[in-house]
Amino acid sequence: MAQFPQSYTLVISSPDQVGLVAAVSSFVAAHGGSLLESNNHTDLSERWFFMRNVIDVRNLDIDLDGFADEFGRLAQGFDMKWYLRDNQCKRRVVVFASHASHCIADILHRWHSGDLDCDIPCVISNHENLRSMVEWHGIPFHYVPVAKDDKDAAFAEMEDIVGRHRGETIVLARYMQIIPPRLCAQYAGQLINIHHSFLPSFIGANPYQKAHDRGVKLIGATCHYVTEDLDEGPIIEQDVVRVSHASSKDDLVRLGRDVERSVLSRGLRYHLEDRVIVRGNKTVVFNP
Amino acid sequence: MAQFPQSYTLVISSPDQVGLVAAVSSFVAAHGGSLLESNNHTDLSERWFFMRNVIDVRNLDIDLDGFADEFGRLAQGFDMKWYLRDNQCKRRVVVFASHASHCIADILHRWHSGDLDCDIPCVISNHENLRSMVEWHGIPFHYVPVAKDDKDAAFAEMEDIVGRHRGETIVLARYMQIIPPRLCAQYAGQLINIHHSFLPSFIGANPYQKAHDRGVKLIGATCHYVTEDLDEGPIIEQDVVRVSHASSKDDLVRLGRDVERSVLSRGLRYHLEDRVIVRGNKTVVFNP
Amino acid sequence: MAQFPQSYTLVISSPDQVGLVAAVSSFVAAHGGSLLESNNHTDLSERWFFMRNVIDVRNLDIDLDGFADEFGRLAQGFDMKWYLRDNQCKRRVVVFASHASHCIADILHRWHSGDLDCDIPCVISNHENLRSMVEWHGIPFHYVPVAKDDKDAAFAEMEDIVGRHRGETIVLARYMQIIPPRLCAQYAGQLINIHHSFLPSFIGANPYQKAHDRGVKLIGATCHYVTEDLDEGPIIEQDVVRVSHASSKDDLVRLGRDVERSVLSRGLRYHLEDRVIVRGNKTVVFNP
Amino acid sequence: MAQFPQSYTLVISSPDQVGLVAAVSSFVAAHGGSLLESNNHTDLSERWFFMRNVIDVRNLDIDLDGFADEFGRLAQGFDMKWYLRDNQCKRRVVVFASHASHCIADILHRWHSGDLDCDIPCVISNHENLRSMVEWHGIPFHYVPVAKDDKDAAFAEMEDIVGRHRGETIVLARYMQIIPPRLCAQYAGQLINIHHSFLPSFIGANPYQKAHDRGVKLIGATCHYVTEDLDEGPIIEQDVVRVSHASSKDDLVRLGRDVERSVLSRGLRYHLEDRVIVRGNKTVVFNP
């Protein structure tokens, strides 16, 4: 993270057992690492342990590879799933957009003003209308139309573009196409969507129309990882906004845009700061 | 309303047409009535008009019956559904409770401290545990157990009790039994439930367990009028509270209790102040 | 408003008296006008009346000038302050910006995507850094540096620019200079500021530092009309966001940016839709 | 905590240094303790460290006194301030109330329904009106009027009553008297107040009147520890609720009551679960 330039983030999940925090924190301290942030959570019903450490590495007696090697041996003993990230390396985030501009404009502005700590190597869209806005930010724009009768070709091309740009995370900024299972699997835990309803309410298409028809008094948005099951992936963040009988369906759409972009930007931030750990269909989010 | 002791509330819904506000407000002014509050809403897609007026009647040149008679003639011309209420007459609210105390304790405290403008002629419950609390408030408590194999008898008895107490509105304060269609129909628009989820999420039983299983980041509650279709009635009020991965299912239940009681008390207040107009499966709520 | 292309908005405040709503709504109906939206409020402690009507004028038997003339005579009898606006004429909003981009980027994006119903004839800033962003939107950018020892000259130039562009409303989008009293008076009720605290908390400079020092658990932002008294003008809109001990002062600044821009955009929308009526140091806001 | 019957809570604050988490967690693990919850925070600007551990003690090889003795030696080396609590021992909370019932009714109901994990050995009030409500809960009620010209005698009596009931924490549930410095000092960090404004807005008397006069769009409440400086103590929790031009001062009072009681009950819960650590005039709150 930009906030802590010389730091690693170490993220762990494992079966719970006595001594986990002690083992990890002793390891870090023994190598001269200092904990800038440390969060952990024990899911007592599932006996599962989650941990996130941001480690000041200015006095570390070991380099990234050395740390990873040694920690890997410790991790094995505890049956940990873990990863280590050097916070000097920014994540590479490819944005998929469609016609709507509100989410991508927000992401690009945050990135441009230094508020979002990532690289955006390119934007891919099935419409041309956002090209000028994206290119103004100095970001390559790829137009990949999705023909109804040959979606496979389009997604193969998109996958290729992401690959060439070494994209690690894909953000669906109101990209309205269903992502094929192959791509979901390949970018599991790295493919982030914003759904325009408070899931599990109004799953599927036209949630604002459904919300209007039902007469709800709050509408919402949900940021989640994409899995094969549409709108069923692990939820990262949600929020709502109050509406009333006086809100037309168009008002819901308008008010919803604000919730969508703020929920997406928060969810993306949590992801980029390695605050989200997926287990099963749920997330642990060590949000500050 | 206690706030305006010498006032009437006049509530109208009708097909929209030019001159409605003029006709109603001219009628009121012509009889010396002064508008303390006046709200109206036109549903432009359905061309339907809704209006609520609180009228200062201290200088009215006509009494309640006279007002109703004359206004009835005007209303006919506009095809209005309407009602008129003398705000000196408090609504009689019967509370149905089960084992859980949080909603009913809140209602009774608000009533006792003068914060809720109604009479509560009695409480009916299928458990005995709340008797002492209810009776401390000076309110009769009726224990009506609901036998699994003879629910009809229980509901017949409850209906009888409500009738004897001249109950106008029934509040289901976490009363966990399904209300028979006959009672729903008889108290249509006067039967208020609090559902422990943000509808339409998690319809039916055990919403907190379902919310926990889905890993949502907000939980909510919904106050709605009861119709034959379970959890499908017109929504009066909703709200949510933030939860996290660290919230156990028991935490959701605990946090949910606070949302339930505040949503129910707001919904009930709107109802008692004649702020809610039902049309179809939706409500207009002129909340302040 | 774009939503109602052939409509007028009529905004009124006056001493309260019997028959006001009747007189206004009868006038509208008599000329064939239909009420699309109608809000009113009586301040019972001050005996003051506020009203806003959006009138469908497709069947009006009179034009704008005729309406204004006739209504003016009616208004005189009730001692009304009032104005009438043809919603086909968009308000001309000049934005003053400084170095920070978040508020102005938000306003420009909303305007560009058709979400904000106004014209933006130009942007004026005392820094050059936002020129490219503004010009990408096709909006003229005027750089007017404010020399510490000759602020008068700068503000005279700015006033001249606003005049040439026929600006009606001025938005201070985190413009950090104190506006001279002459300009405050000239654009009274048309000069909108976003203050980066929940007023009246942390009046003046460095509110985030003060909030951090005090250890508050929520921070906020306030959109208000500018008057001669710094941070004391009538409040249009406010909101807050939760923070914690883990939030550094920089985190407050970052989280605050999101509240600032959403509060400003809501406040500006209310202003543009003629939903705000100022009386003394307070506002009536007929927000939907 | 009731949730974890056989557990200790260990709360620490100390100068930050490498190896703190390792030292504490290793100590716990070495004695067979398992971490049920563990939170820590490093204030990087002040280089200060805060930690809270809930420890499962079912397999601990040492008793409470032994744990405290041994940990005390470790703590000395790190210059820690710390305390250890056996969660089987409930805190003894004395409530001071005045005439208003909403906060105390809420606390008593939560306690009565098992939702608030403490003992309430008595209630002290300077009015008699709440006696019956308190006694219905089986809690002794002490009436201690506060004469304007001899407040010292009243507070001496109250101090005596608290002492006889072995009160550890005092909650001012809208107790409207200023607490003398001696009592503030004696119960430092254990004396909790609910202030009826969003501090630091509207410090002192009549905050709702001030809020109404200023025309704010949100009102709030603040739960804080009481220090000698009125309304200036460390803030535990705050929240707000939306109001409008249509809200009279009485409406603010009514809406404010709901925020007051929910903020107080959350703040008290955090205190009782040892989630709050005071440092200087600020708090760390490890809320879940």
Active site residues of A: 231
Q: Is the pLDDT of residue C58 over 80?
A: yes
Instruction: Taking residues D260-264, report their average pLDDT.
Output: 97
Which of D20, D29, D42 lies nearest to residue A22, judging by beta carbons? D29
Q: In terms of residues, how long is chain B?
A: 288
Decide: A34 and D18 in contact? Cβ < 8 Å. Answer: yes
Percent of chain D with pLDDT over 70: 99
Q: Is the pLDDT of residue B227 over 80?
A: yes
- Statement to judge: residues D23 and D55 lie in one domain: yes
- Statement to judge: residues A125 and A216 lie in one domain: yes
More confident residue, C4 or B218: B218
pLDDT given at position C1: 62
Q: Is the pLDDT of residue B5 over 80?
A: no
Q: Determine which helix (DSSP H) or strand (DSSP E) holds A36, and give its type and residue range.
A: strand A34-43
* 3-class state of residue C263 by DSSP: helix
Instruction: Taking residues A189-199, report their average pLDDT.
Output: 95
Beta A81-86 vs A141-143: how paired, if at all? unpaired
> Whole-angstrom Cα distance, residue B7 to residue B17?
27
List the single best residue of B6, B10, B21, B285 to mutate versus C (max C Cβ within 10 A): B21
pLDDT, tens digit, 9 for 90 and up, residues C100-156: 999 999 999 999 999 999 999 999 999 999 999 999 999 999 999 999 998 999 999
Indicate the burial class of B83 (C-beta count within 10 angstroms; 0-12, 13-18, 19 or more): exposed
CA distance, residue B249 to nearest chain C CA (Å): 24
Decide: A56 and A33 in contact? Cβ < 8 Å. Answer: yes
Name the residue in chain B with its Cα closest to that of A236: B217
Q: Is there a domain that residue B261 lies in?
A: yes
Q: Is there a domain that residue C2 lies in?
A: no
- Statement to judge: residues C81 and C96 lie in one domain: no
Neighbours of chain D (3+ CB pairs under 8 A): A, B, C
- Statement to judge: residues B101 and B71 lie in one domain: no
Indicate the burial class of C4 (C-beta count within 10 angstroms; 0-12, 13-18, 19 or more): middle
Q: Is there a domain that residue B1 lies in?
A: no
CA distance, residue B209 to nearest chain A CA (Å): 13
User: What value does the mean pLDDT of chain B take?
Assistant: 95
Q: Is there a domain that residue B236 lies in?
A: yes
- Tell me whether residues C200 and D220 touch, CB distance under 8 A: no
| D residues 118..147 contacting B (CB < 8 A) | 132-133, 136
> Whole-angstrom Cα distance, residue B183 to residue C204?
60
Q: Give the residue ranges of DSSP H helices in D127-243.
A: 131-136, 151-164, 181-186, 207-214
pLDDT given at position B288: 74
Instruction: Taking residues B254-259, report their average pLDDT.
Output: 97
- Statement to judge: residues C121 and C60 lie in one domain: no
Using a CB–CB cutoff of 8 Å, tell me whether C113 touches chain D: no
Provide the CB-side half-sphere exposure for D275 (13 A, CA).
Answer: 18
Decide: B46 and B9 in contact? Cβ < 8 Å. Answer: no
CA-nearest of B272, B190, B274, B202 to B234 is B190
Beta A91-97 vs D91-97: how paired, if at all? unpaired
Task: Map tokens 């500021």 to a residue.
Answer: C193
- Tell me whether residues C257 and A115 touch, CB distance under 8 A: yes
- Statement to judge: residues B155 and B260 lie in one domain: yes
- Statement to judge: residues C164 and C55 lie in one domain: no
Q: Is the pLDDT of residue C204 over 90?
A: no
Dihedral of the alpha carbons of C156, C161, C163, C164, in degrees to the nearest 10: 140
Q: Show which of D53, D86, D119 is a domain's final residue.
A: D86
Using a CB–CB cutoff of 8 Å, tell me whether D39 touches chain B: no
List, as one string, the DSSP characters of B235-249: EEEEEEEE--TT--H
Task: Map tokens 């909510």 to a residue.
Answer: B220
Beta C123-125 vs C141-143: how paired, if at all? parallel
- The pair of structure tokens assigned to D224 is 């804080």
Q: Is there a domain that residue A2 lies in?
A: no
Q: Is there a domain that residue C233 lies in?
A: yes
Q: Is there a domain that residue B2 lies in?
A: no
pLDDT, tens digit, 9 for 90 and up, residues C77-102: 999 999 999 999 999 999 999 999 99
- Tell me whether residues C22 and B25 touch, CB distance under 8 A: yes
Instruction: Taking residues B76-85, report their average pLDDT.
Output: 96
| B residues 232..261 contacting A (CB < 8 A) | 234-240, 244-246, 248
Which CATH number belongs to the domain containing residue A53 in this structure? 3.30.70.260
CA distance, residue B137 to nearest chain D CA (Å): 9
- Statement to judge: residues D59 and D139 lie in one domain: no
Which of C215, C240, C248 lies nearest to residue D282, judging by beta carbons? C215
CA distance, residue C30 to nearest chain D CA (Å): 30
List C43, C86, C119, C231, catalytic entry: C231
- Tell me whether residues D21 and A21 touch, CB distance under 8 A: yes
Using a CB–CB cutoff of 8 Å, tell me whether D115 touches chain B: yes
Question: What is the residue range of B280's domain?
Answer: 91-285
pLDDT, tens digit, 9 for 90 and up, residues B109-148: 999 999 999 999 999 999 999 999 999 999 999 999 999 9
pLDDT, tens digit, 9 for 90 and up, residues C25-55: 999 999 999 999 999 999 998 999 999 999 9
> Count of domains in chain A?
2
pLDDT given at position A42: 94
Contact list, B37 vs chain C (CB under 8 Å): 42
User: What value does the mean pLDDT of chain D take?
Assistant: 95
pLDDT given at position C100: 96
pLDDT category of residue C276 using cuts at 50, 70 and 90: very high
Q: Is the pLDDT of residue D281 over 70?
A: yes
Q: Is there a domain that residue C1 lies in?
A: no
- Tell me whether residues B109 and D109 touch, CB distance under 8 A: yes
Instruction: Taking residues A21-33, report their average pLDDT.
Output: 96
Instruction: Taking residues A98-103, report their average pLDDT.
Output: 97
Active site residues of B: 231
Dihedral of the alpha carbons of D250, D255, D257, D261, in degrees to the nearest 10: 180
Q: Is the pLDDT of residue D204 over 90?
A: no
CA-nearest of B113, B88, B89 to B5 is B88
Q: What is the ipTM of this complex?
A: 0.94
pLDDT, tens digit, 9 for 90 and up, residues B24-54: 999 999 999 999 999 999 999 899 999 999 9
D231 catalytic per annotation:
yes
- Statement to judge: residues D190 and D208 lie in one domain: yes
List, as one string, the DSSP characters of D94-144: EEEE-S--HHHHHHHHHHHTT-S-EE---EEESSSTTHHHHHHTT--EEE-
- Tell me whether residues B109 and D113 touch, CB distance under 8 A: no
Q: Show which of C27, C61, C86 is a domain's final residue.
A: C86
* 3-class state of residue A91 by DSSP: strand
- Statement to judge: residues A50 and A107 lie in one domain: no
- Tell me whether residues A43 and B245 touch, CB distance under 8 A: yes
Q: Is the pLDDT of residue C2 over 80?
A: no
Using a CB–CB cutoff of 8 Å, tell me whether C1 touches chain B: no
> Whole-angstrom Cα distance, residue B14 to residue B76?
10
pLDDT given at position D2: 64
pLDDT category of residue A281 using cuts at 50, 70 and 90: very high
> Whole-angstrom Cα distance, residue A260 to residue A268?
12
Decide: A48 and A17 in contact? Cβ < 8 Å. Answer: no
Provide the CB-side half-sphere exposure for B207 (13 A, CA).
Answer: 25
pLDDT category of residue A3 using cuts at 50, 70 and 90: confident
- Tell me whether residues D42 and A29 touch, CB distance under 8 A: no
- Statement to judge: residues B259 and B189 lie in one domain: yes
pLDDT, tens digit, 9 for 90 and up, residues A219-237: 999 999 999 987 889 999 9
Instruction: Taking residues D223-239, report their average pLDDT.
Output: 94
> Whole-angstrom Cα distance, residue D275 to residue D92?
17
| A residues 54..93 contacting D (CB < 8 A) | 59
- Statement to judge: residues C49 and C125 lie in one domain: no
Decide: D103 and D136 in contact? Cβ < 8 Å. Answer: no
Q: Is the pLDDT of residue A36 over 70?
A: yes
- The pair of structure tokens assigned to A164 is 């060439």
pLDDT category of residue C4 using cuts at 50, 70 and 90: confident
User: What value does the mean pLDDT of chain A take?
Assistant: 95
Which CATH number belongs to the domain containing residue A115 in this structure? 3.40.50.170
Which of C101, C247, C258 lies nearest to residue A288, judging by beta carbons? C247
Q: Is the pLDDT of residue B219 over 90?
A: yes
pLDDT given at position A2: 64
> Whole-angstrom Cα distance, residue C276 to residue C229?
20
Instruction: Taking residues A27-32, report their average pLDDT.
Output: 96
pLDDT given at position A89: 94
pLDDT given at position D287: 86
Task: Map tokens 């009279």 to a residue.
Answer: D248
pLDDT given at position D231: 83
Q: Where are the beta strands (DSSP E) in chain A?
A: 7-15, 34-43, 48-56, 81-86, 91-97, 118-119, 123-125, 141-143, 169-173, 191-195, 218-225, 235-242, 276-279, 282-285
Percent of chain B with pLDDT over 70: 99
Q: Show which of B86, B109, B131 is a domain's final residue.
A: B86
